[in-house]
Amino acid sequence: MSTDITEQYQRYFDVDMQYRHGSNNQQIGKSRREYTLKIVGRFGMTIPLIIAWLYGMSKAQALVHLNKLVQQELLEVVSTHRSPDERVYILSRSGAIYAEELTGMPIYFRSTSQPELRVNLNTLYHDLIMQFIILLGMPQSSTGSTHSQDIWNGFITDLEVRRLSKAGHWRNVDAIVQESDGSITAVEMEHSFKQLPTRKNILLQYLQDLNNGHYQKVMLFSQKVEVLNDMKRINSNIMEFLLTTKSAERITEQDTAKLQQALVYRTKYCEEIRQRFYG
């Protein structure tokens, strides 16, 4: 049981991610600058596509906003075809110091003359979609976006989850959120179909983490309804198999009920994710 890990959740949930729009251009500019730096500090990067959606502005306005932060030496821009915008914005050293002050959390900065080395290009697309999903789930009053939902009120990003996971043995989920009712939920993004053995291992890891109290639910997202439906079908078949197998992987009816109750397939957002990132 990783009690120490779960006890650290609240300090992430307590980071003030409230976006306060402001009543004049100066206040609005300051609020956006600070909120963008908080986002890049916690997620490691952002792109114009997300900023435009977040603040309800055009892509051109989002570029102006981000490039101004580059001019102020708070952000750096990395060109890459792996981003839907052909670029990604990351913190500079000065930006990392500022983000630490804003969040009250340590921001890990890797010093290198090549900014692209501070970006994991292999997972970039996945990480950007997860950033969108997490911000989408925040209350409108927090993000300022009229498109956001009121699903959770605090979160731990993938970067933060990986730092926590070094202290214990558990599955590195894509994010952990605190829902409005106080429930602690793991969030995962699935892009493609997976084979049965892979699904079985993931399912058993979920069960272990649920039993250890790392979270109470697992909320699953995808850009395709078919992927989530296939996952639900395979997971059901796996649970039936694990109930009757003679191997050490056998699970109980109580385990099955726990998994069935914990797994949430969020098909509602598939089309929006697809249009924004795959359209």
Residue 203 placed within a domain: yes
Mean of all residue pLDDT scores within the chain: 92
* 34 and 133 share one domain: yes
d(CA 33, CA 22): 12
Report residue 279's pLDDT band, with 50, 70 and 90 as the boundaries. confident
The residues pairing with 141 across neighbouring beta strands, listed in sequence order, are none
| 188 and 252 fall within a common domain | yes
Nearest to 76 by CA among 106, 113, 122: 113
Q: Are strands 263-265 and 217-222 parallel, antiparallel or unpaired?
A: parallel
* pTM higher than the cut 0.85: yes
Of the residues 82, 111, 143, the one at which a domain ends: 143
Q: What percent of the chain has pLDDT over 90?
A: 80
For residues 189 and 92, state if they share a domain.
Answer: no
Confidence of residue 21 (pLDDT cuts 50, 70, 90): confident
Classify residue 113: in a domain, yes or no: yes
User: What are the counts of helices (DSSP H) followed by strands (DSSP E) for the chain?
Assistant: 13, 7
| 176 domain-assigned | no
The answer as to whether 70 is a domain residue is yes
CA 62 to the chain's CA centroid: 21
Q: Same domain for 76 and 127?
A: yes
- Please give the helix or strand (H or E) that residue 96 lies within, else none: helix 93-103
Final residue in a domain of this structure, among 120, 143, 166: 143
CB 47 within 8 A of CB 84: yes
Q: Is residue 32 part of a domain?
A: yes
Asked if 187 and 96 sit in the same domain, the reply is no
Instruction: Give residues with Cβ within 8 angstroms of 62, minimum separation 6.
Output: 48, 49, 51, 52, 55
pLDDT value of position 209: 94
| CATH number, residue 78 | 1.10.10
Please tell me the total count of domains within the chain: 2
Q: Return the pLDDT at 33.
A: 97
- The residue to which tokens 């359209």 are assigned: 279
What are 126-182's pLDDT values in tens digits? 999 999 999 999 876 655 665 667 789 999 999 999 888 775 667 789 999 999 899
**Residue 271 in tokens:** 């089309």
133/235 same-domain check = no
pLDDT, tens digit, 9 for 90 and up, residues 61-96: 999 999 999 999 999 999 999 999 999 999 999 999
| Strand duo 87-91 + 75-79: pairing | antiparallel
8 and 120 belong to one structural domain: yes
**Residues 87 and 208 both lie in one domain:** no
Please enumerate in sequence order all residues whose Cβ is within 8 A of that of 204, keeping only pairs 6 or more positions apart, or say none.
242, 249, 251
Give the C-alpha distances (Å, rounded to integers) separating 228 from 234, 264, 267.
10, 10, 7
| Parent domain of 248 | 183-278
Is residue 1 predicted with pLDDT exceeding 60? no
Looking at residue 148, its pLDDT comes to 64
Last residue of a domain, one of 143, 168, 191: 143
Q: Is 106 exposed, middle or buried (0-12, 13-18, 19+ CB in 10 A)?
A: exposed
Q: Are residues 31 and 124 in the same domain?
A: yes
* Contact yes or no for 143/154 (Cβ under 8 A): no
- 245 in a domain, yes or no? yes
Please enumerate in sequence order all residues whose Cβ is within 8 A of that of 15, keeping only pairs 6 or more positions apart, or say none. Answer: 38, 42, 103, 104, 105, 154
Tell me: do 214 and 84 sit in the same domain: no
Question: Which tens digits make up the pLDDT trace of 237-258?
Answer: 999 999 999 999 999 999 999 9
- Is residue 12 in a domain? yes
Check whether residue 115 and residue 21 sit in a common domain.
Answer: yes
Name the DSSP letter for residue 216: S
**Domain identity same for 9 and 138:** yes
Q: Is residue 165 part of a domain?
A: no
Give yes or no for residue 57 having a pLDDT over 70: yes
